Structure 1
Amino acid sequence: MSQDSVRVEKAALHTATPQSSLAAVMGSGVGRNLGLVVALIVLCVVGVATAGDNFASVDNLLTILRLASVIGVVSIGMTFVITAGHIDLSVGAIAALASVWCTTLATQTMAEDIHWIVMVGTALLVGVACGLVNGLLVAYGGIVSFIATLAMLASARGLAEIIADRRTQIVKVDGFADFFRADLIGIPMLVWMFALVSVIGWVLLNRTTFGRRTVAVGGNPEAARLAGINVRRHTVMIFGLVGLCCGIAAVMITARTTTGSSTHGTLWELDAIAAVVIGGTLLSGGRGTIVGTVLGVLIFTTLSNVFVQNDLSSSAQAVAKGLIIVVAVLLQQRLAGRSSHTT
């Protein structure tokens, strides 16, 4: 009986080791990113098979990258917020307010007299200011980030409507639009901006004390506080960072459409959260990945493009996005459960 038990245990160990190794690989950052790359390739193959040259053309590729750039910048900021254990529902409204504020008659007149950089500075300041207000309400006001940013969503969108009088403001400063709509070695300036923000975000999250503190705060705020991290101040800085990303995105959408409007950024918060979750950042906090977020943005943008190329309805597209989000969260939970059992 004892010999049989020993043989059974040895066989179990022999068969369980490859499975646990596979689970460990798939649960690692490399494994998750590899899965996202495969998913993106599959989408591209489907696009080529169903839409042919219309999808595979260089112009369509640049269109995908251009569309991914704006929401991608917002998603980079959202990655930090979610990694820290919070959420921001106001990113779209903040971007709308920043776009309206930087295109007011007074701002554009000042930009014409000085330089179009005034419009950029205005958008960035508005974004950072709104982000800092969110951070202060969460960190020092004790308000849950869901509620604080929900209030900012309503307030920022309403203020944008008041400033613009519910009208679309046209950009009349030629230098502003010319610069941000230009191409650099054949690649749109907006794509270069997204790439730069992504690289800076990756370095900030993976190679700096700020990034390590963000992960620590999201994993266990009390342990982070006992380790000497000023959790409240760091929370304010994180929300200020996502506000800055909203300001950058506002500049990008304003340049792309040559308008400032209170309707800009509608549902950006959902798209950004979806991209971050698909990328592998834990909604509960404590783990974040910039590379995964970039891949998540590209997956959703490519998916939308495939639907458009095949004249499929936006409703079907929304259903597909919802299913992808649910599957991604279920996979996260499953892999997290396996890793906890193996450890």
Structure 2
Amino acid sequence: MSGHGGTAGTLRRPAGLTARQLPSYSAVLGLLIVIVLFFSFSAPGFLSSGNINSLLGSAAIVAVLGLGMTPTIISGGIDLSVASSAVLCAVVCAEVASIAGTPAGALAALVCGCVVGAVNGVLISVFGMNAFVITLAGMQAFRGLARLLVGDQTMTLEDSDFSNFVNYQLGPLTLPIWLLLILTVLGVLLLRRTYFGRNVFAIGGNETAATLAGIPVWRTKLLVYVLSGLCAGIAAIFTVGLNADSASPSVLVGVELTAAAAVLLGGTSLTGGSGTLVGTVIAAIFFSALSQGLNLLGITATYWQLIITGLLLVAAVVIDRVRAKSEI
């Protein structure tokens, strides 16, 4: 009897994933699957190749900006200037391209992005200024500088290849989408397989402990913001191409908030120390799919999309709080 009792007393928990073992982006992935299924039945043409390419192309700008913003939040900071940085880079790109051609314009956009990111990074990492305040100021200043450069007008290029680049079909997808996939893979490898990436997570988890452990905190944070600026430069090239070879200081208004919502909804903790680039990209695609689906249903009013984005941002913060408490 005792033998049977011992066996009966040993209860094994059924194998399977618990909530804490699921990826941090599982919630937004589930939401994406739900709305894709919903719109595929309710919105004619939602799953057409043309709409899918348009959907992913629209998501590419937010996703690339989110790829740059994610490490800044993981490191305990934030970059609210990503959209305005992209606008400034787009204007610089168009100005240089009008004089020296498309390749020179693209290079100028990337360099401009790195410079803008370095400015933010130096003020935050070297001088110890608050990341929220500095990048909020940059959000205003960089867009204002873009307006100053073009006299608050739209600059259209007569002969460039930016629109050809963003519309070029390589297999089933356009070039920006392929580039987004490559950037995501490289970003994941950078954050998960290098000392730099481990330093970013360590700084976000506990900056004081990271400093005592000998981690080069200010250099790591500086590079994080430079990379965010580089992503803004890439997004600028996409923007010029998607806007028919033109650059305007009035585009991408509010996109920094959509990018932030994508980062948080994708599973990155607002308090730093944890996050995922894959989740950011999935969330960016979710927002784009939601917008495209609503448009196909005839719900084109911007205020509905803004309301939904705001609600999802609040939901992302709540989910982050619940996840953080469950890990204590």
Paired position in structure 2 for 1:150: 136
CA distance in 1, matches of 2:47, 2:250: 32
Q: Which of the numbers 278, 283, 287 marks the counterpart of 2:265?
A: 278
Paired position in structure 1 for 2:241: 255
Residue pair 1:94, 1:243 contacting (<8 A) in 2 also = yes
The answer to whether 1:86 aligns with 2:74 is no
How far 1:176 sits from its partner (Å)?
3.7
Counterparts in 2 of 1:1-343, with a 5 A limit? 25-28=18-21, 30-51=22-43, 53-104=44-95, 107-111=97-101, 116-257=102-243, 258-312=245-299, 313-340=301-328
**What SS does the corresponding residue of 2:127 show, helix, strand or coil?**
coil
CA distance in 2, matches of 1:34, 1:309: 26
CA distance in 1, matches of 2:260, 2:88: 20
2:98 partner amino acid? Q
Q: What runs of 5+ residues in structure 1 fail to find an aligned partner?
A: 1-10
Q: TM-score, normalised by structure 2?
A: 0.92
**What SS does the corresponding residue of 2:269 show, helix, strand or coil?**
coil
CA distance in 2, matches of 1:175, 1:155: 29
1:318 partner amino acid? L
CA distance in 1, matches of 2:61, 2:275: 20
Residue pair 1:95, 1:264 contacting (<8 A) in 2 also = no
Q: Structure 1 or 2: larger helix share?
A: 1
**What SS does the corresponding residue of 2:94 show, helix, strand or coil?**
coil
CA distance in 2, matches of 1:175, 1:55: 29
2:310 partner amino acid? G
1:339 partner amino acid? E
Q: What runs of 5+ residues in structure 2 fail to find an aligned partner?
A: 1-8
**CA RMSD between the two structures:** 2.1
**What SS does the corresponding residue of 1:26 show, helix, strand or coil?**
coil
How far 1:220 sits from its partner (Å)?
0.5
Residue pair 1:26, 1:32 contacting (<8 A) in 2 also = no
CA distance in 1, matches of 2:314, 2:31: 15
Distance of aligned partners of 1:14 and 1:337 in 2 relative to their CA distance in 1, 3 Å threshold: farther
**What SS does the corresponding residue of 2:18 show, helix, strand or coil?**
helix
CA distance in 1, matches of 2:222, 2:191: 16
2:293 partner amino acid? V
**What SS does the corresponding residue of 2:45 show, helix, strand or coil?**
helix
How far 1:14 sits from its partner (Å)?
7.5
How far 1:293 sits from its partner (Å)?
0.8
Distance of aligned partners of 1:338 and 1:159 in 2 relative to their CA distance in 1, 3 Å threshold: same
Alignment coverage as a number of residue pairs:
319
Deviations 1:243-266 (A, max 9, x none): 000000001111111111112221
1:314 partner amino acid? T
**What SS does the corresponding residue of 1:55 show, helix, strand or coil?**
coil
2:110 partner amino acid? L
Distance of aligned partners of 1:89 and 1:35 in 2 relative to their CA distance in 1, 3 Å threshold: closer
Deviations 1:216-258 (A, max 9, x none): 0110011111111111111111000000000000011111111
CA distance in 2, matches of 1:174, 1:334: 49
